[in-house]
Amino acid sequence: MKYLENAGEMLERLEKYGAFIVVSDGEKVNTMTIGWGHFGIACGKPAFSAMIRNSRYTKEFLEKNPEFTVCFPRDASYRSALAFCGSKSGRDFDKIKECSLNLTDSEKISVPGIENCAVFECRVIFKTEMTPENTSPDTAGKWYRDGDYHVIYTGEILNVR
């Protein structure tokens, strides 16, 4: 399978609608909206990098189970769910239930995807922690005034559906 064949289209969807990142700790499934991400080659493998702030509940899941799906909506039908999942915490809400999202089983990992989305199944191959020392001052001044930096999780793309 050519994992990066539709990367351009997925980046357009990410920019236009956002995307869901889905994680699981083995018992609970959580999702959040992402608006930033990268496709490419990392360690000789097709990869997607997702940026997750240290304060996010999603980060706790990724630290327990280093697998995730990135689910790119095909159209604007998920607009309200993306808004909800981007503004509410899974600590306080079952976002899957609140947004009536239907999950679909993955083929290569333990984390499900979301129905009616292009789903990229990923397993973390490395993570990079952003810090004040390794972030340009103008970027830090614009996006990290509160000190809540991102961890960049780079996952090998194992399957696309």
pLDDT, mean of residues 8-20: 93
Q: What are phi and psi of 107, to 5 degrees?
A: -95, -30
Residue 140 within any structural domain of the chain: yes
Residue 139 lies in a domain: yes
| Section 19-44 average pLDDT | 96
Chain segment 101-133, per-residue pLDDT in tens: 999 999 999 999 999 999 999 999 999 999 999
pLDDT at 4 over 90: no
* Percent of the chain residues past pLDDT 90, beyond the cut: 94
Q: What is the pLDDT, as a whole number, of residue 142?
A: 95
Instruction: Give me the number of domains the chain comprises.
Output: 1
Q: What's 124's domain CATH number?
A: 2.30.110.10
Q: What is the pLDDT of residue 152?
A: 97
Quote the DSSP letter at residue 128: E
Q: Which two tokens stand for residue 98?
A: 């609140």
pLDDT exceeds 70 at position 1: no
Give a yes or no: residue 1 inside a domain. Answer: no
Q: What is the dihedral of CA 89, 86, 74, 105, to 10 degrees?
A: -20
In a domain, 115, yes or no: yes
5 band by pLDDT with thresholds 50, 70 and 90: confident
**126 lies in which domain range?**
7-160
2 within some domain: no
Among 5-14, 17-26, 61-70, 147-156, whose mean pLDDT is lowest?
Answer: 5-14
Burial level of 153, CB count in 10 A (0-12/13-18/19+)? buried
Query: Using 50, 70 and 90 to split pLDDT, how confident is the model at 3?
Result: confident
